[in-house]
Every structure is written in structure tokens, then in C-alpha cells.
Amino acid sequence: MIRVLVLVSIAITLPAAARNADGTLAVIEYPNCGAPAMVTPGGAFSVRLREKAELFLVSEKTRLPLETRWTGREWGLPTGRCRLPGDLIPGDYTLEAVTPGATDANRGVVHVVENFPDTYTIAQIGALDLRGDDEASFTRVRTLLEKAQAAGAVFAVITGGLASEETAGIYRPIVQLLSTAPIPVFTCPETAASPVAATFWGRGGYVFRFGADGYLAFDTTGPFPADENGPQAAWLYRVRRRIRDSRWSIGLTQYYSHAMGIRAQLTLLVDDPLDALLSSTVPSYEGHPLSTAPWGHTALFPLPPGTSGIPWRLLRIGAGIHEIAVPLSKPAPKSE
């Protein structure tokens, strides 16, 4: 219990993401520390806000007003595109939102990179299952992200559950963990498993681009994976089309089974099939584990829970999408 309190107090007192005092998202829903933006100078990134706001890109030296083009509403919230100046210095920036009644800031969530390489490496990480009373589990995740960075990963995707239970008490220290991660970290939505999740990580799901490639993170948690009765089916159809022109279109989700919501499967695996789907479950069909979605086309990259430690792998994205060996290297220096 004491450890929980220590972790929570660290999360609240450190000058991390502004958010609300209880750690939940305030004005800015996307980007956040579990779904950041990666963009080049002169490029643009998407935002989703609880209300329209003036936006600023903030670093230690600058506070740059952003020109925002409002593009509509998503999950009931206003969305927009922010374009960056071409001479912006690469680095990690804080996104600040100013409304008549409040100022909110998501720290370090806009990663401005010099360019998007044609071939790059990402780290896929399975279920973290972090526990508030297990401080060492947070250290293990931090160490793993440092290993991924040392292996050349430009970002990490977590395709498993973040915590052993979806509560505010455990999400608060995870916000702190991801806000200070050595590489950008993209998490998979788990709103259907717990309404609390949406208050910390945003609702529904999100899409992002890394150069020529498009990524779609969507929710398959909860008692009705990829539920057909709610708003997700329409949202999936729209965002799938949004990344249709990508070189590779890659889905990120926690759970995949051929028996999950059929409408989502028709949209993402049949009518306009993703090139790859990264998840944490190993789907099987007729008793055989699958390497490709049973509908055809989509390559599956399942990463089930390991017997010891957090499962993870490196994927090389370039002329193809394939797993590469984790290079042997000196242990990354421990963080202070």
C-alpha cells in the first residue's frame, strides 16, 4: 500500500503531463503519452480535444502558436490538423491547449523527427499487467523500453493490457512512466474493458502515420470484442479509408480472434484488408495457429504473454514487415 502511495504521489508531484489533478485527460485527448504524435518539420499532426482551443507547441526555449484546421468531430469531440513550420528544430515538444477557462498541456507528446526513414524498426511489446504494489514491474518496463531504444526502435507499440486491473490508481503511475519513456510509446485502447481507461488514454482508438505507413489502434477489449452494436463499426470504416493510401497499413489491438465482431473483421480484414495486425493473442482456426488472418491477406503478429517477463519483439518495416532478432548489446544504462 505504501508503494502505491509513493507511486501515485510521484505521478502527481512531478511536472509531467498537466492533465487534471487526478491524472485524467483534461482538454487534450490526442496526442497523449499513450498515443503521441510523430511528425517532421513542415508536416502536420492530428489532434482531438474535449473542446476547441488555441494550441501551442512548447519547449524550454519556444512557445509556438499552432495553426489548427478544424476537421470535424470524432467520438463526439472536435478534431483538427496542426501544421508545423518547416524550420522547426527536431525534438520532443509539449502540446499546450488554452481555452477561455483552462490551460492544459500534454508534456513531450509531439515528437518532431528530422525525417521518416523508408526502413525502420519498431518494438512490439505484449501485456505489461502492471500492478500498483509492484514497483519493480515499472522498472522492468522502463528497462525494456531502453533496450528497444538501444536496438534502434523508433517507437514502441504495446499490444497488451497495461495493468492487471483498469483503475485510476494504477493508470496514474503509468501516465508518469510513459511520459518519461525514452522512445514514443503507442498503447492499444481498452475503453470497452473499463470506462476509466478512456479518461486516461482517450476514447475509442486513433490512427497515426509514420512516413509512408499508416497505423490504426482499435479496441477489442471487453465482453463483446469489436462490438457491432456501438459506434466502433462506423469509426473503423472511416479511419481505415483514411490510411488507405499508405505503403503499409498496420492494425494495433489487444485481442484478435476470427470469432470477434464480424463487422470489424469485414472492414479491416476482408473489404479493405490491413497488411498486418499486431496483437497479443494467438488466433487459431480449425485447431491450427494462424500466421495470416483466416480471411486471407493480413499477416498476424501475435505476442502472447510469456512465462517469464514481458514479451517483446523487434519488427523491421521496409520492403516488408518482418521480425528481426534482438541484437546483443551492452545493458542500457540505468535511469536515475
Partner 1 sequence: MFWCVLVTVTALAAPPSGQIAYLALGEGARQVAMLDLASGDTRPVGTGTQDGAPVWSPGGDRLAFSTAAGDTRRIAIVSPDTAAFEKLPGAHAWNTHPRWSSDGSAIAYEVSPGAGSLPRLAVHDFHTGREILWGGGREGLFRPVWLPNLDLRLFLDPDHELSIEGVDLGRLWAEAEVSGAVLAVGTTRALGRISTEIYVVTETQVMPLLLDMIAEDSERFVEWGCAVDRKGRQVAFESNDGGDREIYMLGSRGLVNLSNDRHADWNPVWSPRKNWLAFESFRGGRQGVYAVYTKTANVRPVVAGDDFDARSPAWSPDGKWLACVVDEGARSGLRIQAVEEGTPPIDYSLPSPGVAAPAWRPEARP
Q: How far apart are CA 310 and CA 327, in angstroms?
A: 17
CA distances from 49 to 208, 246, 278 (A): 16, 25, 27
Least gap, CB of 77 to partner 1 (angstroms): 7
Nearer to partner 1, 101 or 223 (CB): 223
At residue 169, the 3 state secondary structure works out as: helix
Nearer to partner 1, 63 or 73 (CB): 73
User: Is-contact 33 118, C-beta < 8 A?
Assistant: no
Q: Which of 224, 281, 294 is nearest to 254 (CA)?
A: 281
Nearer to partner 1, 183 or 233 (CB): 233
Cβ neighbour number for residue 63 with a 10 Å cutoff: 11
Kindly report the CA angle at 47 between 126 and 170, in degrees rounded to 5?
Answer: 40
Least gap, CB of 15 to partner 1 (angstroms): 31
Nearer to partner 1, 179 or 279 (CB): 279
Least gap, CB of 282 to partner 1 (angstroms): 11
User: Is-contact 19 106, C-beta < 8 A?
Assistant: yes
Least gap, CB of 296 to partner 1 (angstroms): 4
Q: Which of 153, 218, 150 is nearest to 185 (CA)?
A: 153
b (16+ CB within 10 A) / e for 19-36: beeebbbbbbbbbbbbbb
Nearer to partner 1, 121 or 267 (CB): 267
Least gap, CB of 326 to partner 1 (angstroms): 30
Nearer to partner 1, 85 or 285 (CB): 285
User: Is-contact 327 151, C-beta < 8 A?
Assistant: yes
Least gap, CB of 244 to partner 1 (angstroms): 12
Q: Name the site residues for partner 1 (rule: CB under 8 A).
A: 72-77, 194-195, 222-223, 225, 229-231, 233-234, 237-238, 257-260, 262-263, 266-267, 270-271, 285, 292, 294-297
